[in-house]
A and B are shown apart, each in its own frame.
Chain A
């Protein structure tokens, strides 16, 4: 299966206090209007601090939750319009999910073959899907010949790749991976990233990885920073960009925000492809007198 495109338009997600189940104090806005487009076969990293909304976004992409507002499209599917069973089928065939923590993706008492078999079960019953042999999948993630191994027998890096194997077992067009390298050493991390790249290369699978690790983001080519529930910035090919959201907003980088706190007034000048923010107005006294920000076109 070729990669699936992903499109998020002004996606909002709010955790209700009752949903949280912890008697929390009020609702929590996890995503506050995310706009994001991912091309088929693209590899993308979602980066950002804890609580920024990365995992929420990946849960929405996986269909584990429904957005409170906005649209999420995976390929031709509008996730908001699918029934639970359709989403379940989608997860069994076209969307692979690898949860944070390798062991959480695997049945510990079953070997790798059995885990892959379980992940392929739904797709195997769907006509028109050609499934790879489990050994072939394991080869793909660098675990060839380990099909009979139990989870407990694998090293952390191998375990994470086993989780990847399960995630791609059904041959999905979109692979969502949450923090695949968070508890790995450099060697393990490289193995996992290599596996991801192999999958992407050989299957043209669209891969979205949630990570704290900026280096991982850099390796994947495109890194979208989620900040306060929005797309705060995007890095491509080693260069960082601010992103204009669907409602026209642009998030300032944290270092700029440190100088110009919320409430600071700017005038916006646009000339010859250059946008200038000039501090001033009633609160200008609170800000440095000659600050300006420039956003390339």
Chain B
């Protein structure tokens, strides 16, 4: 028996090899899914861990120790031991540190230095001069500090523990002097290294220089007289700590540590860590990838099994007579089954076994190309077994008909080609399943879970089956008509599709392959476009430089000074978070909007240049002066006696320095001259002045401002006529102040009800009464938004847009200069940036620094795009593309096998027709178009199936883990993407068809010659 099976295998070795390859692909596809997921997991973890802050990669257990608690000094070792025991997590390295403020290193008696003990610090410092710490009373000092203070190794410094005076917010000595020897001067090579944790040892100061702690030995700190210290144990996770399969355990360990700390009770021990946030991010990415990969992997395995089913079905059909012969000799069912299935099973088993390592190797190759070398994980063996069993079952299922057919029927050449009720029932079930799955996908609110995961594949299969139901009869009808009209070639080709048993299955296979590729390409193309758009919108500009916050005016002036022509740089302040329901705000120097920001076509509205004009209506120059003092002549009515109301003036230095808020003193009845010294020699803008009730509640008061003058040099801040004109002023709360003016000056009638500072605030009308805004939606709060000063600001919507840079489809844009004038504080923004356009020169950072801006961050849209490209969804979509490509190759292999099985029969048919007078060209056309027409029709229906699947499930394909800004993904890819990829697929399938047709023609010719010879 074995010998006979071997002979069969050898006799049909091409079929066996093809079948083995199909089984290989099935198993490899089954292995590829989990293997690729494993690789994606590792890539995601690697990338997220690399990008994580030190706090997110580790944990800090801190203990603030006070002397009065009696646990200073000797207690520190206890804490360290406790900390180490608390943490005790594998693959985490503990770093102990003690941190306390001291005086004595700096020349200023109030300038404190951080005295720090940090375990193993010498391994992370580069000694510029001298040596690192060995022990005893030694310190090392930072390079800049040493240069600034003229300290060299060998010098002794006497320090004292310091405390912050809560009244003066100044450090004062609080311990006995202690002399230490400076043994070295260091610089730190990587201030952002995880080792340093999140202690901010090297933070930038206002001047843009890094702080430099004084490092010492643990013993020295123990000797120093001090009554408070911060003890910390930082644990830093090694890469192995974040291995994908360890993450659940890591969560449990974190919970356990928190539980232990809680169990300590009374002690001032706190645990801080960002690991949960990191794990959450990783989990989100992995979740999306785990949703997406099976969407492609499962159909591919199913398709491979279907191709095996098809191939074995065709092959067995071709062997009907042989099987009948075996049955004719009285063979039992087992013998019949072994002889029928043996050669297929051997081929499938060999292919399936090879598929496992091939799948892993292919994924390793793909991972090295796309996942920064993160190799696939093992553990996919069960999936390989499932696929192998699936392939075997598909083969057995394909043979069921021949195994149970009576001998007489097997011996007949003509096979009943009817598609019975079973096929119809299966097709109905598939279509219903597709509908149910699609509905479930919608009902489950876009969750790719359960059957919903297979929606695209099911929809594609349903459309393919329906297409086959429509196309096959059409081909049959066309064939019959062509036959009647004498178009023999076309007729025979159409009838090949219309009447050949199993042709509809081949058609379905090709449709599914083309559709899977179309769907995958669409998903990939749309996701790529969405990521590009998301990166551009979220970034706002090609390059975004974050600067240390300065006053908004300073940011504006510095940016304009760095780019006087306005060709590339734009000052940006992320607006204060508004009231609940208000959209986020962005304040930008709109004069540079067109050159610095990336303006998406989908933003709509008037466009950046016109928008700038709308947001910056013409205005007078700001009320500014240069002097060292400001004087106000005012007259208050008698009500001033009853209330404790002060007049406060706010000035904004034109240099961009900190705003000046000067209390001019209490208002009393009668005339007053209120003077205050100000540092406005370089120029200040009058932001406004206000009556502030020092008491509580509202107040009523009439004040006349007769003059606003400068002192040293003396002059007018504003002409009397301008001062007296109510139109020159804008009250912040119009309902609380009535303005009028005459030759006496400006009359202010305060009738504040709430007594808040805003009630008594007026500012020069160097801005519109209502701040112009461009919004994506109607403002819920009507005509007011929270301004840059955190107070309500009257606004007017001058433009409606569909989207805005950085804010996406939900936000409000204001002009930074106008918003700054509208604010009452002339302060700093929460996050200040300079957006740079493509024309920015290479030395742009130097230009910004030259203007006094301290750069703390620098990002580019390409980086953001790269980050998005590296996230789980993007990586998973690569797998879609790969599997779709494999699906096309499977279809090509399947159709080649079908053609190979078919060719003898077809050659015989066409050869016989040739002998009977059918012309050579007609037979050639029949051979050629018999295959091509299937491919072309399938390509057409395949594109339709892909489009339908995309319409049904496309919007549910996750493209981001977290969308940084709300901005809709494009609905469709660029036509070229789909046409190109599907064109390649059709070319491959048509190539197979052409080769098969050529081979068939050769055989027909040979048959014809034989026939002629016999005749």
Residue positions of A touching B, CB distance < 8 A: 21-22, 59, 62, 64-65, 84-85, 88-93, 97, 99, 104-105, 107-110, 114, 118-119, 121-123, 166, 170
Contacts and interface: CB of A to CB of B under 8 A. Distances in A.
A90 B10 contact: no
Given A92-B329, A109-B7, A114-B7, A121 B335 contact: yes
B332 A122 contact: yes
Contacts of A99: 325, 328, 411
Interface string B314-336: 00000001100111111110010
Given A99-B325, A114-B7, A122-B329, 9 more contacts: A22-B414, A62-B328, A64-B411, A88-B331, A88-B407, A109-B8, A114-B4, A119-B329, A170-B329
B975 to A, nearest CB: 46
B330 A110 contact: no
A18 B11 CA distance: 35
B347 to A, nearest CB: 16
6 contacts: A21-B416, A64-B328, A88-B331, A93-B330, A107-B4, A110-B7
Given A93-B330, A110-B4, A121-B335, A105 B414 contact: no
A121 B329 contact: yes
B485 interface: no
B328 A109 contact: no
A91 B328 contact: yes
A97 B414 CA distance: 21
Contacts of B335: 121
B4 A104 contact: no
Interface string B914-943: 000000000000000000000000000000
Nearest to B329: A119
A120 to B, nearest CB: 8
Contacts of B332: 85, 88, 122
B411 A109 contact: no
B323 to A, nearest CB: 11
Contacts of A170: 329-330
B408 interface: yes
Nearest to A19: B409
Given A97-B328, A121-B331, A114 B3 contact: yes
A62 B330 CA distance: 11
A105 B324 CA distance: 10
Interface string B980-996: 00000000000000000
10 tightest A-B CB contacts, nearest first: A92-B330, A109-B11, A122-B330, A21-B416, A64-B408, A91-B330, A119-B329, A109-B7, A88-B330, A110-B7
Nearest to A89: B330
Nearest to B9: A109
B910 to A, nearest CB: 20
A107 B4 CA distance: 10
Contacts of A109: 7-8, 10-11
Contact of A107 (B10, B325, B327, B330): B325
Contacts of A85: 332
A90 B408 contact: no
Nearest to A108: B11
Contacts of A108: 11
B332 to A, nearest CB: 7
B322 A65 contact: no
Contacts of B406: 64, 84
A85 B336 CA distance: 13
Interface string B376-419: 00000000000000000000000000000011100110111010
Nearest to B415: A21
A90 B330 contact: yes
A21 B414 contact: yes
Contacts of B331: 88, 92, 118, 121-122
B680 to A, nearest CB: 105
Contacts of B328: 62, 64, 91, 97, 99
Contacts of B325: 99, 104-105, 107
Given A109-B7, A109-B10, A118 B326 contact: yes
B329 A59 contact: no
A114 to B, nearest CB: 6
Contact of B407 (A64, A121, A123): A64
Interface in B302-353: 321-322, 325-332, 335
B321 A104 contact: yes
Contacts of A114: 3-4, 7
Interface in B395-451: 406-408, 411-412, 414-416, 418
A65 B407 CA distance: 9
A22 B418 CA distance: 10
Contacts of B416: 21
Nearest to B410: A64
A109 B10 CA distance: 9
A250 to B, nearest CB: 32
Nearest to A59: B408
A22, A104, A170 — which one has the most chain B CB atoms within 10 A of its CB?
A: A104
A64 B414 CA distance: 17
Nearest to A123: B330
